[in-house]
Amino acid sequence: MQVKINTRAEKADMQDLFGIFFEDLNHAADGGLYAELIQNRAFEFCSVDNPDYHGLTAWEKIEKGGKTELRVETEHGLFPENPHYLVMEILKEGEDTGVCNHGFHPGIFYEKGACYNFSCYARKERGDCDRLVISLRSRTGDIYTSQAIDITDKWEKYQLTFRAPFDDRQGRLAVTAKGSGCVELDFVSLFPAHTYKNRKNGLRRDLVQLLEEMHPKFLRFPGGCLVHGGSLHAGDRDSLYRWKNTIGPVENRPSCRNNWGYNQTMGLGYYEYFLLCEDLGAKPVPVLPGGYNPHTHEAAVGDELKEYIQDALDLIEFANGDAESYWGSRRAAMGHPEPFHMEYIGIGNEEVGEPFFERYPLFHRALREKYPEIKVIGTSGPFAAGKEYDRGWQSAREVGADLVDEHYYQAPEWFITNHHRYDAFPENGPKVFLGEYASQDNTWFHALAEASYMVGMQNAAHAVKMACYAPLFCHVHYENWRPDMIWLDNCTAVPSPSYHVQKLFMNHHGDVVLAQEISEKGPSVMMSRYPDSLPGDIVLEANESRVAFENIVITEEDTEKQYTCRGTVLSSERSREKITSVDSRNYTIRLHARELSGKKGFTISFGQQDEKNHVFW
């Protein structure tokens, strides 16, 4: 096969092509990326969030030798946005009387020698129980370490730091009382001190590191259905996702039902998302609800709809406004006077249906008028929606959306067959933002089908401007959706083969696609140029899984120089096995980058790695 390229003929730019998408499903935020170790820290869980929840979910009483009663009340609450608190009544003082939290299943992960920051609000309501003992414990109640705090009859915040003397994957945090009487507790929190960048209210370091290593060009957040699932009214317990509820002190962020059937504390909120984008060097791509719930078909009207539009406008001021502007000053007060340089905003997620198509233009025009520099992303809904999908594109074209967000989850064969799907998409008009896609499992074969498809998207960079795999994270004990890119539990994370494919493409992300001619039909290849490389540096990628390119001759049009490449993409039968648990250590990708006649190219070997780092097939 002969491949002719002209290193000076730029076919299309592809600067922001491959990014990531974070959605709080599968406990990706609480219990996942957000490093809080206590579940139901503010006693706000209720049956609206999940029929099995109640105010004491994840809490248990301790009454060794004594008698304790627990209940959740609101009468003396400190925070109107999160009014519930725990009443701990010590009816009879015993050896050990109080309450303990078991964190996220199967328990709190303590690492020997690591430090943990505890905080809580507490007051004595009556009696002589002025001293509380905070302890890190085992599941069976063995106390690893403890410290005491003296409380008064006024709500006050208390903070302590612990060092864990043992490893434990099923740890507990306990608050016990000395004396008898009644104690009130709220916002009982425990974070590892070593969060990412050691930030307070921070994120899990190992998980952010995995994202960092990908070098994504953008981060779409805070979700798909998460954004548009729920009631339309801002104050409701199950309200649609409203970004203004997710900033400021965590105590003032109303915790809320999550579309995926659990409680979201909003501890990971918009400010933290923007910070994460900045840390990753990824452009923020927030998605806001369009005032319409496609599951219930409720649609906002009048002032309520105006509020949704205003939310979108205010978000841009929050991200980009100077520190003197109202929302810019809110950002500055949280510690970030510099703007976040937001360039994109998404309105709606899969909201097919006339009520959305009527509302989207109102958002679009308001945003265009005030912020013409911001690229507005509409939605076509899932590809599988057929006519509605076409209607979504039509509506986005009519109003002049910059990009259209389309989604699909398909069989690997579909991705391979549809390799050229976007070739004929028009260059003019709204561009494609493939905001969610995945082939339907986590085997190597599925990842390779995705890799093939990504090559196709690069080749169609005239029409496809952004694409991100979905979903990103899944906590193995709280699965809502599969496949997922990274599987995790409380202490480990296992990236799937799809993660490695995504990372590979992002780590070799070109800035333009070069014109090319391929002499014969066969596996498609794709050339792009590194943004910061010398002219003529080339990346060669392949779209088929079991293929060995033995003698690809690349001829540089302008110099007539020829380079022979030997690129190999292999997979083994074993690749069809699934990753079923986070303990599976079998699957590791080894990538060998090498120089080819002074030009950059790479061989991609997908293999298994044993303990001694030997790759075998």
Binding segment for ligand AHR (CB under 6 A), chosen from 65-73, 180-188, 221-229, 554-562, is 221-229
Between 295 and 546, name the residue whose CB sits nearer to ligand AHR. Answer: 295
Closest separation between CB of residue 229 and ligand AHR, Å? 8
CA distances from 274 to 212, 247, 291, 485 (A): 14, 11, 23, 21
Residues between 447 and 476 that touch ligand AHR (CB under 6 A): 470-471
Q: Which residues within the stretch 147-176 sit at the binding site for ligand AHR (CB under 6 A)?
A: none
Give Cβ neighbours of residue 101 (< 8 Å, ≥ 6 apart). 38, 39, 40, 41, 58, 59, 60, 108, 172, 173, 174, 188
Q: Is 350 in the site for ligand AHR (CB under 6 A)?
A: yes
**Nearest CB to ligand AHR, comparing residues 26 and 395:** 26
Nearest alpha carbon to residue 220 among 37, 91, 390, 377: 377
The whole-angstrom separation of Cα 197 and Cα 33 is 13
Q: At what angle do helices 270-280 and 205-214 cross, to 10 degrees?
A: 50
Q: Is 350 a catalytic residue?
A: yes
Nearer to ligand AHR, 196 or 393 (CB): 393
Determine the interface stretch with ligand AHR among 176-184, 220-228, 366-374, 565-573 (rule: CB under 6 A). Answer: 220-228
Q: Could you say which of 23, 36, 317, 406 contacts ligand AHR (CB under 6 A)?
A: 23
DSSP string of 74-125?
-TT-S-TTS--EEEEEEEE--SEEEEEE--STT-EEE-TT-EEEEEEEEEEE
349 binds ligand AHR, rule: CB under 6 A = yes
Helix (H) or strand (E) holding 206: helix 205-214
Question: Whole-number minimum distance, CB 419 to ligand AHR, in Å?
Answer: 23
When the beta carbons of 184 and 441 are compared against ligand AHR, the nearer one is 441
Specify the residue, 311 or 436, whose C-beta has the smaller distance to ligand AHR.
Answer: 436
Q: Which amino acid is at 56?
A: L
Q: Which stretch binds ligand AHR (CB under 6 A): 4-12, 78-86, 202-210, 222-230?
A: 222-230
Cα angle 64, 69, 71 (rounded to 5 degrees) comes to 140
In the chain, count H helices and then E strands.
Answer: 10, 35
483 burial type by CB count under 10 A (0-12 exposed, 13-18 middle, 19+ buried): buried
Residue with the shortest CB distance to ligand AHR? 224
Sole window of 172-180, 217-225, 323-331, 515-523 interacting with ligand AHR (rule: CB under 6 A): 217-225
Can you tell me the distance from the alpha carbon of 161 to that of 422, in angstroms, rounded to the nearest whole number? 55
Q: Which stretch binds ligand AHR (CB under 6 A): 114-122, 198-206, 223-231, 424-432?
A: 223-231
The end-to-end CA distance of the chain, in Å, is 27
Q: Roughly what angle, to the nearest 10 degrees, separates helices 302-320 and 354-370?
A: 40
Give the nearest distance from C-beta 438 to ligand AHR in angstroms: 8
Amino acid at 460: A
Q: What is the 3-state secondary structure (H, E, C) of 213-227?
A: HHCCCEEEECCCHHH
Q: Which of 197, 122, 114 is nearest to 155 (CA)?
A: 122
CB of 223 to ligand AHR, least distance (A): 6
Q: Which is nearer to ligand AHR, 132 or 404 (CB)?
A: 404
Which pair of structure tokens corresponds to residue 362?
């109102």
Structure tokens at 191: 């974070």
In the complex with ligand AHR, which residue's Cβ is closer, 97 or 349? 349
Query: Between residues 225 and 504, which has the closer beta carbon with respect to ligand AHR?
Result: 225
- Of 44, 63, 272, 350, the active-site residue reads 350
Bridge partners (DSSP) of residue 88 are 70, 183
Residue 407 near ligand AHR by CB under 6 A: yes
CB-wise, 264 or 459, nearer to ligand AHR? 264
Answer for which of 155, 166, 425, 481 binds ligand AHR (CB under 6 A) is 481
Number of residues that bind ligand AHR (CB under 6 A): 11
225 counts as binding ligand AHR under rule CB under 6 A = yes
Task: Extract the tokens encoding 232.
Answer: 């339309």
Q: Is 24 in the site for ligand AHR (CB under 6 A)?
A: no
CA distances from 145 to 100, 112, 149, 246, 570 (A): 14, 12, 14, 34, 52
Cβ 340 to ligand AHR shortest distance, Å: 24
Least distance from C-beta 591 to ligand AHR, angstroms? 27
DSSP-based three-state secondary structure for 156? strand
Find the part of the chain contacting ligand AHR (CB under 6 A) among 218-226, 234-242, 326-334, 522-530: 218-226
Q: Site residues (CB under 6 A) for ligand AHR? A: 23, 223-225, 349-350, 407, 436, 470-471, 481
Residues annotated catalytic, as ranges: 350
